[in-house]
Amino acid sequence: FKGVYQIDVNALYPYAMINMDFPKLDEELFLESPLKDISLKEMLDDKWVGVAECKVKIPEGLKIGYLPIRYNKALHFPTGEKEVIGTWTILELREAVKLGYKIEGCGLCCLYPKLKINVFKEYLSNLYELRKKESEDMKIVIKILMKSL
């Protein structure tokens, strides 16, 4: 295929476990009509992780849409100035707004405050450093440990 590129990312799952935010599950905020209860700015605040069902207006000029939707059993990334409904993470919605998407409304929304600590960071960082120094056989064992969380 012309113009198609393949990217192989080393240790992507452990990287995400070290760098992503995790929810504090004992403090759930479930909203049936979030924009009636809190402002859009509050819902998209960086203190939250979670998901929301929203109606968004796609900005013009995007070559590839940012927010995916399921349509006819396939994943699509719509473009053009149109409105779509879907369920996305708060992180995805936050980034979409930066790209010019407009959130027109929201249905169900589940928000969690971020954990203040990352319980996996030290464990995975130590394993990654150990993996660099070990024999090939031990590297395989360490890789399995890193991906088995």
User: In a structure prediction context, what are the per-residue pLDDT tens digits for the chain, which is 149 residues long?
Assistant: 677 777 777 778 888 888 888 899 999 999 988 888 888 999 999 999 999 999 999 999 999 999 999 989 999 999 998 999 999 999 999 999 999 999 999 999 999 999 988 888 999 989 988 988 989 899 889 988 988 87
Query: How many helices and strands (H and E) does the chain possess?
Result: 6, 6
Q: What is the DSSP string of 11-31?
A: THHHHHHHHS--B-TTS-EEE
β-bridge pairing 69-71 and 74-76: antiparallel
Determine whether 8 is exposed, middle or buried from the number of CB atoms within 10 Å of its CB (0-12, 13-18, 19+): exposed
- pTM exceeds cut of 0.85: no
User: Residue 45: how many CA atoms within 13 Å on its side-chain side?
Assistant: 11
